[in-house]
Amino acid sequence: MSQTLLVPLDLNQESAFESIFAAVKRIADSKNTRVILLTVIPEISVGVLPFIGLDEMNNLGRVARVQLERLAEQELGDAVAWEIEVRIGPVPRTIVSRGEHYNVDMIIMASHNPVYWDVLLGSTAAQVVRHSRRSILIVRQPGDKPAHINDVSRDALML
């Protein structure tokens, strides 16, 4: 029986890679599994960063693709069929829509101990769980401590 796994990765969260790929390898049924590694570059609002152009966004996409390919070869090699996808958009919604598009059997993604900002707005993992009709495995990061609250987060708490 074949299965398709969607594995959204935040390329800035390297500490999660080991546990995510350990979960993927446990669930993958060798050659009968297709793994789609996805990274989503968040949309950048024109009002927030008006000087980011299409060329810069495309360059971010190329860099992300190279990183994902290197990671896939290193972690998955030839053990399973894998492919790479890089998207730009709202992260949780894009993950959910790509899961539907590929008709995946499971989404495997990392979560972390939330900071106050996540509690107020909802973490990416929580939003995906809330809105997806697919099975989801959330891989908690062992020993994570909540991230330091920066000034932006603190200001948001004051609203």
Q: Domain 3-158: which CATH class?
A: alpha beta
Judge whether residue 84 has pLDDT over 60.
yes
In the DSSP assignment, the letter for residue 143 is T
CB 24 within 8 A of CB 5: yes
Distance of alpha carbon 69 from alpha carbon 66, whole angstroms: 5
Evaluate whether 77 touches 31 at the Cβ level (below 8 Å): no
Q: Are 50 and 3 in contact (CB under 8 A)?
A: no
User: pLDDT digit string (tens) for 29-54?
Assistant: 766 899 999 999 887 665 555 566 66
Mean pLDDT score of the chain? 82
pLDDT in tens, 137-154: 999 876 545 544 444 444
pLDDT at 124: 87
Cβ neighbors of 156 (< 8 A, separation 6 or more) are 117, 120
Q: What is the largest CA-CA distance in the chain?
A: 52
pLDDT at 71: 96
Q: Express each pLDDT in 85-111 by its tens digit.
A: 999 899 999 999 999 999 999 999 998
3-state secondary structure at position 148: coil
Report pTM: 0.81
The residue with tokens 């800035």 is 12
